[in-house]
Structure 1
């Protein structure tokens, strides 16, 4: 008898014909509850401890042409060890139609001691789509570090296609078991890693001098990637400043 969990949630957004956003599909599942709030916003609410080792979670978000949606979360996603061997897997698919706009701004993913999460995010953007996507990763909880425990492992891949062509494809593998994860070419002594991707929308301001952050223009025009390392989640959030509309 297995103790692992499989769950898939789905969001579909479309214009409501009155200048707002309708959500014809808002289907939570397992630990992923979905709550609609004002202003074209959906909040992800965790209803149980997850993901645990061996769990398989999926979330699919589709914005039909002309829709606007912001997706946030009520709290951090904490990856925890489970009874089953092997990593937990969380697959996120974001599809943004022509002239639509998605703000994907969840709270951080935290890799707790003893855990391993494989996080895959796939984004498909139609011509004229707008995107702001922020990812924040925290390696170890505060009390893990306080007792000298190593953080968990987080293997993350982000792929983005715009108008049928690849825009970004990157993978990181950090935490115990990953080669060189704590060295100067990776975390370099920091505990958090994050990035802010903007496509078809205003770019964020350049990071302050002296910080471990960089703002890059991606090939193809109209897209930027801000990446940052920081000692804690609060400092990371300050570096990943959202651009003004």
Structure 2
């Protein structure tokens, strides 16, 4: 969808009730654009999964177009026996275009306790966002979170494709529960998806 525009306020609530299985995606990429005001747009996604439920949140990429200003949040509330697969992908600018300003936060609670609170920010006026310590020139970033009550997540972090021009990803366990988080950077959307798919295959194998 060609939204949100500057100043828009969008929200999405998704609930998988007890023992339900739910997979949600989007029909196309979300395109954040410059709007009639310089005020930031907000896009809030709230996900809830009950006992024994399985929730898969797999939207198409979010594109941060030049001149856009978007604050995005994803808040997840999981029951103790719920399963979750969450994938988010962000493209920082269209072809040959500068990135807009994108602030993204993912907060996950499991059985009422914090599991993940991740905050990222890209584009001007964020300092050093495109430097070698962060994106190193890449324009696609993404996260994949797998929560599986029966999974043995006590593993050392794994670095995927270290030092290649196709990007890289880190797959690491989270301290608050049976969960693995992959964070990836890549030059293109297709390369990012390949990295996240590789991380998911590794996580399922674990």
Q: TM-score, normalised by structure 2?
A: 0.88
Q: Aligned pair 1:132/2:85, yes or no?
A: yes
Structure 1 residue 206: Cα displacement: 6.6
| Structure 1 CA distance for aligned equivalents of residues 126 and 187 of structure 2 | 20
Paired residue for 2:172?
216
Check whether the contact 1:157–1:171 (CA below 8 A) recurs between aligned residues.
yes
| SS of corresponding position for 2:160 | coil
Paired residue for 1:171?
119
Paired residue for 2:46?
93
Residue deviations 1:129-181 (CA, integer Å, cap 9, x gap): 00000010100001xx1xxx421111000000000100000100101111111
| Structure 1 CA distance for aligned equivalents of residues 135 and 161 of structure 2 | 19
| Structure 1 CA distance for aligned equivalents of residues 119 and 4 of structure 2 | 20
Q: Aligned pair 1:236/2:197, yes or no?
A: no
Paired residue for 1:159?
107
Paired residue for 2:56?
103
Which has more strand, going by share of residues?
Answer: 1
What is the number of equivalent residue pairs in this alignment?
A: 192
Match of 1:192 among 135, 140, 151: 140
| Structure 1 CA distance for aligned equivalents of residues 38 and 105 of structure 2 | 21
Extract structure 1 runs of 4+ deviating beyond 4 A: none
| SS of corresponding position for 2:133 | coil
| Structure 2 CA distance for aligned equivalents of residues 199 and 79 of structure 1 | 29
Superposition map of 1:44-59 within 5 A: 46=1, 49-59=2-12
| Structure 1 CA distance for aligned equivalents of residues 93 and 195 of structure 2 | 20
| Structure 1 CA distance for aligned equivalents of residues 34 and 194 of structure 2 | 30
Q: Which runs of 5+ in 1 are unaligned?
A: 1-45
| Structure 2 CA distance for aligned equivalents of residues 226 and 207 of structure 1 | 10
Check whether the contact 2:31–2:64 (CA below 8 A) recurs between aligned residues.
yes
RMSD: 1.8
| Structure 2 CA distance for aligned equivalents of residues 68 and 207 of structure 1 | 30
Residue deviations 1:161-212 (CA, integer Å, cap 9, x gap): 0001000001001011111111122211100110110001768x97344452
Change (3 A) 1:183 1:209: closer
Residue deviations 1:26-61 (CA, integer Å, cap 9, x gap): xxxxxxxxxxxxxxxxxxxx4xx3110000000000
